[in-house]
Structure 1
């Protein structure tokens, strides 16, 4: 004969005497919560808690045969049989399918306490599913942002999860995050969530990546999109353009070739093109200071007049502006792509 599983109370702050409702998880942990907070956080709970609740009968306990006879009579009278809710310490108990770990994270976002630890992707996905189910706007926003943060390291898992749940914005973000990885690295990532989506869904992602790998290197061949002037980094971190001055790749009379550009400029653009053909992401360009270092060495070999503090500063500013343009174009392609 098997014994009933033990039911335990959740830890602080979900064990307060002021609570007026108990949520019992699938692993038998009771969370003592407040109806007012749940109703504010979730229209689903607000609707459920606003329904008339049957009162617990008082007086002598009825025998099982008496209960059965009353239910039969209710059916004959055309009235539904309403199950009397379980009570604990005078509070109604609502059983939910979530685990204690998931519910704790979800409630911590709803209550005015510290944010939960969402460093685990599996936990984030599980709790986001619950937040969407209960139509909790604020937790859904918080968890969606956290999911996007996970996409920078696990884009394939996040993409498959988002597509399976029809979360278009999150799927689009994960697709863009996948550009940080080379195609070989991306397809070798372990992503059990891929079993939940179709081959067509996966093909959409691959087409997006290949298109970006094909189109983005081309922006280094035609620089007509650049503003006129000499780029420089502003104190705010943005890139400004000093009008009336040529950029260093045009401004040096000592090493300027037949096409009007400095001798080190084409090799630099060639390195950038190669990187964009592998990983067309602004974060990749900004995360590779070796690109500017390599251009600096090339400057020194080809023309010391170009290799000045001002010239190197302009080159760094150009690289930053280029990274922004890469992200703008990949976002534009993603916005015109349906992933779900």
Structure 2
């Protein structure tokens, strides 16, 4: 596996960047907004970007570029070298060029890094290169910590697969979390559809707590159906085998807590939260019948069945959002 490239800060004074962007025989110089020069090869830029292809072709023939995105790029020629003045800073430019060159991809440590590179690639229409960056946007670290930011960035750049994946990860957090400035760059309708998706997933997941027919055929063996020493719930419940069973009240109390939790955070991890399990396990521990089986049966139930059913329920809910 290739090692990520560690970005080296450029010299604060005007100068040529470090290798591989300092070759004297390079035929293009990118002059960034913070006064750093990148010596690069024209053929690489032409292959990577349709906008830069237009700019470089126009500079060589002394004509005006036809692409709208090329109008803000100033170009001039000195001997055999074309100099392009770009508005991006050296740090973002370095990361972008590493994606264009046949070398290891640079390390993008923050979502700001990813967003900056995506913005520059979108501006210069680097379609093929974007395909490599979009995978970095949905790394587990970003999805776990900032799924709403990932959602907003992905939707902003019309990355449908990444938008849908990030939307599912937002289910692991309360529906109203801290504001993120990336929402300023997407329409309110997209955020509304995300909230609607969250609500519908909560409804679908909560439905599992009031209907036990999805339990496996072996469910009647679990201790909360077998024990006659504990207080039973006032209602009896049908299972997948078509029979009606009495069930211990401490199990129903767990399902009621799970229902409330799933309404707020509709994801599979919610049902195995110790805060939901502990009150029922403590009650089961006081029963001579349940104390020996409750923990194991709960582990099997939540891990092998309940979590899987929650995943199935939310997977059936569509993120109704246009691209």
Structure 1: stretches of 5+ with no match in the other structure: 57-70, 72-82, 231-244
Q: 1:119-169 deviations in whole A, cap 9, x for unaligned?
A: 322221121122344454564244323333434333443433344433333
1:15 counterpart SS class: coil
1:11 counterpart SS class: coil
For the 8 Å contact 1:163–1:339, the answer to whether it is kept is no
Match of 1:268 in 2: 254
1:180 counterpart SS class: coil
1:55–1:44 CA distance, 2 compared to 1 (3 A): closer
For the 8 Å contact 1:250–1:256, the answer to whether it is kept is no
Structure 2 residue corresponding to 1:170, chosen from 133, 158, 162 = 162
Structure 2 residue corresponding to 1:206, chosen from 195, 199, 202 = 195
Would you say 1:86 and 2:77 are equivalent positions? yes
Match of 1:128 in 2: 118
1:158–1:218 CA distance, 2 compared to 1 (3 A): same
Match of 2:224 in 1: 249
User: How do 1:88-103 and structure 2 match up within 5 A?
Assistant: 90-103=80-93
Would you say 1:217 and 2:206 are equivalent positions? yes
1:86 counterpart SS class: strand
For the 8 Å contact 1:292–1:316, the answer to whether it is kept is no
- Cα distance in 1 for partners of 2:278, 2:315 equals 28
CA deviation after TM superposition for structure 1 residue 10, in Å: 1.6
1:105–1:313 CA distance, 2 compared to 1 (3 A): farther
- Cα distance in 1 for partners of 2:291, 2:127 equals 54
Would you say 1:181 and 2:158 are equivalent positions? no
- Cα distance in 2 for partners of 1:146, 1:154 equals 13
Match of 1:159 in 2: 151
CA deviation after TM superposition for structure 1 residue 280, in Å: 1.0
Would you say 1:316 and 2:299 are equivalent positions? yes
Number of residues of Structure 1 aligned to a counterpart in Structure 2: 288
- Cα distance in 2 for partners of 1:318, 1:132 equals 47
Match of 2:241 in 1: none
Structure 2 residue corresponding to 1:106, chosen from 87, 96, 104 = 96
2:276 counterpart SS class: helix
2:88 counterpart SS class: coil
Cα RMSD, aligned residues only:
3.7
1:84–1:11 CA distance, 2 compared to 1 (3 A): closer
- Cα distance in 2 for partners of 1:265, 1:171 equals 37
Match of 2:316 in 1: 332
2:82 counterpart SS class: strand
1:23 counterpart SS class: strand
- Cα distance in 2 for partners of 1:300, 1:26 equals 68
Match of 1:293 in 2: 278
TM-score, normalised relative to structure 1: 0.68
TM-score, normalised relative to structure 2: 0.71
Larger CA deviation: 193-202 vs 119-128: 193-202
Report which of the two structures shows the higher radius of gyration computed on alpha carbons: 1
Match of 1:140 in 2: 130
Would you say 1:28 and 2:17 are equivalent positions? no
1:30 counterpart SS class: strand
- Cα distance in 1 for partners of 2:44, 2:280 equals 58
For the 8 Å contact 1:168–1:339, the answer to whether it is kept is no
1:334 counterpart SS class: coil
CA deviation after TM superposition for structure 1 residue 24, in Å: 2.8
CA deviation after TM superposition for structure 1 residue 31, in Å: 1.8
- Cα distance in 2 for partners of 1:313, 1:25 equals 62
